[in-house]
Amino acid sequence: MHRIVIIGSGFAGLEAAKKLKHANTEITILAKTGHHLFQPLLYQVATGILSEGDIAPTTREILKKQKNVRVLQALVEDIDVENKVVIWRNHNEEQTTPYDTLILAAGAGQSYFGNDHFAVFAPGLKTIDDALELRARIFDSFEKAEIESDHNEIDRLLTFVVVGAGPTGVEMAGQIREMASHTLAKEFRAIDPTKARVILVDGADRPLPVFGEKLGDVTRHELEKLGVEVKTQAFVTDLDHDTVTLKFKDGSTETIRSNCKVWAAGVQASELGAVLRDKAGAELDRAGRVIVGKNLTVPGHPEIFVLGDMMSFPGVPGVAQGAIQSARYAARIVAARLAGKPETTEPFTYFDKGSMATIARFKAVVKIGKMRLTGFIAWAAWCFLHLLYIVGFKSQIGTLVHWFFSFLSGARSQRTTTNQQLVGRLALERLGTGSSGKLVAGEDPVQEIIDDEVTSSHSEEATPNTPLSL
């Protein structure tokens, strides 16, 4: 039987699997996580509106009735293109899965434009782990400020910097500002949360540059009405525990003291793009995306499709619709091949269904073709479309209920955080590669710790562990 391997369970990977439901084939999905993430709503998890379960149902539950699909939690490390084998591991158990057709839809991560050390102090927002860590960091800033007596330090703790004024950055800045002004306004005694500073930074001339000048200016106006400081034509040149340093287009600089930073600028495609470059001769663009042919395959390898955020194709943005449409196109080709029918000769074409972003409660901007919407109508359209694309009836109902109470009352029911969420990522990195929460290859982390302790006990002077600094 024909074997299809799909790498990734995001919009593209899941859609491709579902569209091949009736195909006579064995489908294996290899994904680092056991859930399908509705990434556009991650910022609402980070700001306490939604729970992670509302936007990330398990992949197994979604596909439980599709008998030709097997789901495996796996970190793909290599692809043997010549022998058509995917090499992957779950923790330290290395496995292989052969394929006849390979669909790469592993998505993209955060890009720090060559400054990866910024990630220690400014997490991105691409995964559930990111959202929960940011939630913990945001609320922890208020908690620290409540017990602080130094006014300068309180100001630093209550200053939030969001880097990147695309949809994610705009939505994060607006929600942090709303949370400080409404949700937390009367909950503290020593500090006034309403006086928190929220700063949105971007190198472009205005927020949401892809939305055009008019909507960008509307967005800026609405953000500033909320109390968000918008700094455009500004680039981050340095970032550490205490500060963010900006350089403006006019040559001037500014250093902002801030405890909590959010990185929402730039994306970098999965490292599997580099694997295809080395093993299949694929070309990559500057963001590491694979430059695909007109039928979304790697040139010279008709059995390998690259979809979604991993592919570089003219006119296709890195949004959910691009992933979904590319998956449907690829599935049609694969289905035709399996049925012995001629596959389409028409190249893939992307239909732009528009762009939208929320600013705050009852405020959003929408761009669909030549139509521009703002205010409540745009916000209602945003709500409807996002509910429509959330997978699973239970998730849709749960999201609707949370939205109803959050938007009407200003309350946020998902504010629980843990110390593990706050320091877990950095703690795992300190333990070593084998202990990563991403199913990463490496030596046994327990043995690594034992070996380190043995080495330390034989040293003349042990060096105490330094505490994690966020």
CATH number at residue 242: 3.50.50.100
Looking at the 3D structure of the chain, how many domains does it have?
A: 2
> Encoding tokens for residue 362?
């009852």
- What tens digit of pLDDT does each residue of 89-101 get? 887 788 999 999 9
How large is the average pLDDT for residues 133-140?
A: 97
Q: Quick one: pLDDT at residue 439?
A: 53
Contacts of 378 (CB under 8 A, 6+ apart): 356, 363, 364, 365, 366
Domain boundary among 265, 285, 312: 265
Residues ≥6 apart with Cβ < 8 Å to 445:
431, 432, 434, 435
Q: Are 28 and 133 members of one domain? A: no
Asked if the structure places residue 147 within a domain, the reply is yes
- pLDDT of 393 reads 75
* Domain ranges, residue 82: 2-32+74-110+267-338
**Domain-embedded: residue 39:** no
Tokens 């400081």 sit at which residue?
229
More confident site: 11 or 463: 11
Judge whether 137 and 50 are in contact, CB under 8 Å. Answer: no
Q: Residue 387 above 80 pLDDT?
A: yes
pLDDT at 266: 87
Task: Name the pLDDT band for 468 (thresholds 50, 70, 90).
Answer: low
Q: Does position 42 have pLDDT exceeding 60, yes or no?
A: yes
Active site residue 15: no
Q: Is residue 153 part of a domain?
A: yes
What average pLDDT does this structure show over 388-411?
Answer: 83
**Do 123 and 185 reside in the same domain of the chain?**
yes
Percent over 90 (pLDDT), the chain:
79
pLDDT classification of 260: cutoffs 50, 70, 90: very high
Mean pLDDT of the region 172-192: 96
Residue 210 and residue 220 in one domain: yes
Confidence at residue 199, expressed as pLDDT on a 0 to 100 scale = 98
Report the pLDDT averaged over residues 26-53.
95
Beta partners for 384? none
Q: Work out the average pLDDT over 404-419.
A: 87
Mean pLDDT of 154-183: 97
Q: Answer yes or no: is pLDDT of 467 > 60.
A: no
pLDDT: which is higher, 432 or 393: 393
* Shared domain check, 186 and 176: yes
Q: What strands lie across the sheet with 228-231, from one edge to the other? A: 228-231, 197-201, 159-163, 260-263
Whether residues 194 and 313 fall in one domain: no
The tokens for 123 are 């997490």
The residue with greater pLDDT, 462 or 234, is 234
Catalytic site residue from 133, 171, 178, 222: 171
140 shares a domain with 86: no
176/157 Cα distance (integer angstroms): 13
pLDDT at position 427: 80
Q: What is the pLDDT of residue 465?
A: 52
Q: What is the pLDDT of residue 406?
A: 84
Q: Judge whether 358 lies within some domain.
A: no
| Rounded mean pLDDT, 263-274 | 93
CATH of the domain at 291: 3.50.50.60
* Cα dihedral 43→46→50→52 (10° resolution): 100
446 CB contacts (<8 Å, ≥6 apart)? none
- The residue-averaged pLDDT of 350-368 equals 93
Q: Is the pLDDT of residue 194 over 60?
A: yes
Kindly tell me if the per-residue pLDDT of 448 is higher than 90: no
Confidence bin at 444 (pLDDT 50/70/90): low
Residues 6+ apart with CB under 8 A from 83: 98
My answer on whether 261 and 271 are in the same domain is no
Taking CA 459 as the corner, what is the angle to CA 456 and CA 462, rounded to the nearest 5 degrees? 60
Cβ(359)–Cβ(170) below 8 Å: yes
Tokens 């292989």: give the residue: 96
Distance, in Å, from the CA atom of 179 to the CA atom of 340, rounded to the nearest integer, reads 57
How confident is the model over 286-312, as pLDDT tens digits? 999 999 999 999 999 999 999 999 999
pTM (two decimals): 0.90
Least confident of 207-211, 235-239, 394-398: 394-398
Asked whether residue 261 falls in the same domain as residue 277, the answer is no
